[in-house]
Amino acid sequence: MTLIEHIESYLGSIDKGWSLKFQSRDIQVVKILNCPSLGVSTYATLGMSDFELNLPNGKVRQELIFSIYDSYDEEDAASFLLTFAESILHSNKGLLRGEVIGPGDSLVSGAKTNSIYVSIPVVFDERVQVYSGGNGGNVVFAWIMPLQEAEVRHVNESGWNSFEDNLSKVHTDFWDLNRPIMSFV
């Protein structure tokens, strides 16, 4: 199974894509409609895993998953994810579960969310989490969840385990980049 087949098997058919050049290789973002639910599109990177990224205890090959409502501009979403992927590749540092990036600018035009939280893709079919078919070893998919500044402070003060425990107890509309702040914050 190829990486594209893996994505299409566990997320859905690719609707369209965007790309940029990084060190003479294509890094792409693909869009999957109605994933993980109706009216939500998932954007996934392709090509980040061509690069080994450093972790504190080794190396990792990663791809990213980001999902938002279809009401947000797809060009903005793809641009955000391509830019974010490029910054990760430039840093040569893999993302860790529980890591927070930001706050910075709005993730997409007009959004309150301005930060990213890294987690395992628990809202998707669990088989998407690791792709084992590549020649360079396993590829780990990281779900990048949009956060607002108050939520970032909560993660930083309480720790990622506490944050994820609280997430499992409340309903959070992850796909809405202008959602109210999580109730436990």
Asked, as a colleague might, if the bond just before 36 is cis with ω within 30 of 0, I would say yes
Q: Is the pLDDT of residue 123 over 80?
A: yes
The pLDDT, as a whole number, for residue 22 is 73
Q: What digits encode the pLDDT tens for the residues 8-17?
A: 999 999 999 9
Q: With bands split at pLDDT 50, 70 and 90, how would you rate the model's confidence at 23? A: confident
The pLDDT, as a whole number, for residue 150 is 95
Q: What digits encode the pLDDT tens for the residues 37-96?
A: 999 999 999 999 999 999 999 999 999 999 999 999 999 999 999 999 999 999 999 999
Residues above pLDDT 70, as percent of the chain: 99
Q: How many CA atoms lie within 13 A of 85 on its CB side?
A: 35
Q: With bands split at pLDDT 50, 70 and 90, how would you rate the model's confidence at 26? A: confident
What's the chain's average pLDDT? 94
Query: Does residue 159 form part of some domain?
Result: yes
Q: With bands split at pLDDT 50, 70 and 90, how would you rate the model's confidence at 20? A: confident
Query: Does residue 175 form part of some domain?
Result: no
Query: Does residue 177 form part of some domain?
Result: no
Q: Is the pLDDT of residue 24 over 80?
A: no
Number of domains in the chain: 1
Query: Does residue 59 form part of some domain?
Result: yes
CA distance 156 to 150: 10
CA quadruple 143, 145, 151, 152: dihedral positive or negative?
positive
The pLDDT, as a whole number, for residue 28 is 96
DSSP 54: E
Query: Does residue 61 form part of some domain?
Result: yes
Name the percent of the chain in helix, strand, coil, to the closest 5.
25, 30, 40
Q: What is the dihedral of CA 32, 7, 141, 154, to 10 degrees?
A: 30
Q: Is the pLDDT of residue 25 over 90?
A: no
Among 67, 52, 93, which residue's Cα sits nearest to residue 11? 67
Query: Does residue 136 form part of some domain?
Result: yes
CA distance 15 to 138: 25
Query: Does residue 25 form part of some domain?
Result: yes
133 or 109, greater pLDDT = 109
Degrees, nearest 5: CA angle 16-17-18: 150
The pLDDT, as a whole number, for residue 179 is 96
62 with 91: CB under 8 angstroms? no
Query: Does residue 41 form part of some domain?
Result: yes
Among 153, 150, 146, 160, which residue's Cα sits nearest to residue 69? 146
Range of the domain at 65: 3-167
Q: How many residues does the chain have?
A: 185
Q: Is the pLDDT of residue 97 over 90?
A: yes
